[in-house]
A and B are shown apart, each in its own frame.
Chain A
């Protein structure tokens, strides 16, 4: 069964269906979009259960069709463990986001947003889902690039048409930053094709095709800058707080939870494997940028007065961890980084959605406008606390496992740079406690602010949105093994392609499990 083409086609067809609904059928549009996304989720899970853990083959469910033979481009899809968990992340988040965004385009809510086209919003969401799945499934570098760039457009319209007051500024900034990075990557993609001289863009055949160290460096930079902007890594991050703060909450979840991961995913998949020598040469630089990002993002987050901006800055800090894990090039660090991509998607997703619920009720994103929410809306505040605690990597919650693996994996390199980085990086965990708990304190504790006194607690729909995320956060916190089992062989493949001798396996899956479960 051609799982991946179906997974890409289904949301596109759904989007067309939603867009083709007659005017005024807003409710039907939402229901159809939700149904389509649930079908995609079911298909993804069905595929995931058939994923061969021990096949020895690089990619599973491979499908390759010739697309543009004149350019050597194939419609090539296939997944390894890393891609699989990222696709699963997207497929899980989309129905949650659709359910959470139920009223985003209605023009209701305390912020008094104008009424917008509901159909368009949900069909954009579905188009975006297709592209997210496509970008992770692509085994052809050109196809990857096509999805990488094309997915900007639906997100651009979601921010620009449905976002907050500064939406058009934020949308344009987002688009131009990403486009600029993407165009540099385009040059590198072309140059990769020309230098490799294999008349194909298929990723497996391009591994090891560029041998000249000088060329590798330039191509690495072309790809890396695009991914660093996308991820975003310090100092390429300035677009993210604007975009995330202005995007509607649902779009912000997909933006930070999935789209940005394409950056770190690209580093892991393309930068490392295609240009191993250059990746090693640039490792110190990337590690230093990551550590700066970890600390900088955390400190700036502490100073934020806007909830969504705060969450965006925490993400910059977390992306620092992920990039550090990717470039530490040990199996622990890379498996941790991959797991972090998933966990971060869930915990930040939950944070954004709860912030969205708060903003929908109160009409303001400013932290000062809240206070004592816990007494009035205990369920909302409780969910906020749990997802916040996951964001600060509390043991027992999912982010802890991945953050710990990244730090230990980096420390294992046993070189001054890595050890120092790991130690400095650890401070990010402490700073995280400050920004999360302080925000929670100001929002939920203390005397109930006048303005929130009439606030309603979560309704059934909102509980349905948050419950799966909390289950995943806690579940993966105690028992990450199934995900790690999928990720580990893929990470081993990556490390083999890069030609790195792994550190002695003092910490494997087992140890990480123990740590996670023991606390």
Chain B
């Protein structure tokens, strides 16, 4: 009886992933079959139900006990960190989708050339691309898969599933369409380039190890002790592909352009969800597959982390556009997170670093979505008032909104009694415990530099006189207001009593990554 064994697929463990992808496919079917006027009212519930249901399924998996073995024949690792990251991505996705629900942000007809009668017709006809919902769902599913892939091939597939919809979504801004399309093309070209790096690196590593499974690569490392040209070049190229996704210097150039051009709700999704997912993948590749090669990658990572923190903080100072500034801030934060990635050591140390990174991702992700939600609300005739000078005196005209935004900025700056402080503390504490004190000193100095540009926005909003023709504050939709409220509440609660979330992160991190 030597028939072909069917592969075992742990459907229960993979159910959150399957539900998100399933909802995405239902969304595509709705686009194909439902009449135009019904689409939006169908898409929104499907999307939200899919995401909320997936979150419930994540909880169920956790309740049933965190699996100790990789699922789907070792292709996907549903371990503690993966489940935590899934939960975080889903929460961030839900609040981002509430933002995406704002028609005003998306183009009526993407195919119409900007400024032509076709475009005006499309707007007049009330056209809308409801495809954004299934696209977003595919991207979200890709993010989840990216963070839990246990072999390089799956990781590459996830990378593409995550990125391709985002390339498209970036080009769909309703206003400043050329900027948006430029962002889309830039993101696509650079993203394709980095994917190629990743793919080629994967091929080289396969050439060395004879396997694409992360655990297999780790085992193969033992044989050569890391002195293999194929391996080193391959590992370097994998690193380039991954560092591109988190926007670490010197691969950060796409971030400001893309963040600025993309519709703001999509920027919010990218800045939070993609970053979380990409860190999940970085950790898996560098800790699980290349964990024993740390003597080789650590010095490089030190350089990358320092460069990223300094570049993000310094370049942000000269920015005059709020979204570009937040993009550079996101680069600096990626650098802070990298200090945690570097601080490896014994198992307890790894768990400490992982816990710090996980908490940081939660704190940063939620605050980021909130900040971009505020950006969507400050509008003038040409859409969002992106230029910083337009924000002058906002605190006088709209104290509550400006106050919330100032609070988010203080959280980014890591002032105590905000979530950002504990995030930074957790990562830096892990880095100090792991012996990376110089890195932490660079980190705090760049935090001080970064504080300058956050504070500059506060100065503009509160200490400057309002411009006479200043932007109006859009009356927020229920969704947008909800997003701002949720983000502000989370930033406060995590800043005053972070213990429950820290405890969750600790539990998730304690098992480390399964192989």
Using CB atoms and an 8 Å cutoff, list the residues of chain A in contact with chain B.
Answer: 67-71, 117, 145-147, 149-150, 152-153, 156-157, 160-161, 167-168, 171-172, 175-176, 179-180, 183-184, 186-187, 190-191, 193-194
Contacts and interface: CB of A to CB of B under 8 A. Distances in A.
B448 A180 contact: yes
Interface string B425-461: 1101100110001001100110110011001101100
Nearest to B426: A71
A146 B416 contact: yes
B432 A171 contact: no
A132 to B, nearest CB: 15
A175 B455 contact: yes
B455 A161 contact: no
B502 A68 contact: yes
A156 B426 CA distance: 26
Contact of B440 (A67, A147, A157, A190): A190
A135 B103 CA distance: 48
**Shortest Cβ-Cβ A-B pairs, 6 listed:** A183-B444, A168-B463, A146-B416, A70-B502, A180-B448, A160-B463
B463 A153 contact: no
With a 10 A CB-CB cut-off, give which of A147, A171, A179 has the most chain B CB atoms: A179
Interface of B: 355, 399, 410, 413, 415-417, 421-422, 425-426, 428-429, 432-433, 437, 440-441, 444-445, 447-448, 451-452, 455-456, 458-459, 462-464, 497-499, 502-503, 506
A386 to B, nearest CB: 36
With a 10 A CB-CB cut-off, give which of A67, A156, A167 has the most chain B CB atoms: A156
A364 to B, nearest CB: 22
Nearest to B501: A70
Contacts of B447: 183
A161 B440 contact: no
A373 B464 CA distance: 35
A101 B96 CA distance: 44
Nearest to B505: A70
B499 A67 contact: yes
Contacts of B429: 71, 190, 193-194
A194 B432 CA distance: 7
A161 B428 contact: no
B498 A153 contact: no
Contacts of A153: 410, 415
Given A168-B464, A194-B432, A184 B416 contact: no
B425 A70 contact: no
B432 A191 contact: yes
A71 B425 contact: yes
B502 A71 contact: yes
A488 to B, nearest CB: 33
Given A68-B498, A71-B502, A194-B433, A176 B451 contact: yes
A171 B415 contact: no
A183 B437 contact: no
A170 B451 CA distance: 15
B454 to A, nearest CB: 10
A515 B326 CA distance: 61
A71 B432 CA distance: 14
With a 10 A CB-CB cut-off, give which of A67, A150, A193 has the most chain B CB atoms: A150
A184 B463 contact: no
Contacts of A150: 415-417
Contacts of B448: 176, 179-180, 183
Contacts of A183: 444-445, 447-448
A258 to B, nearest CB: 18
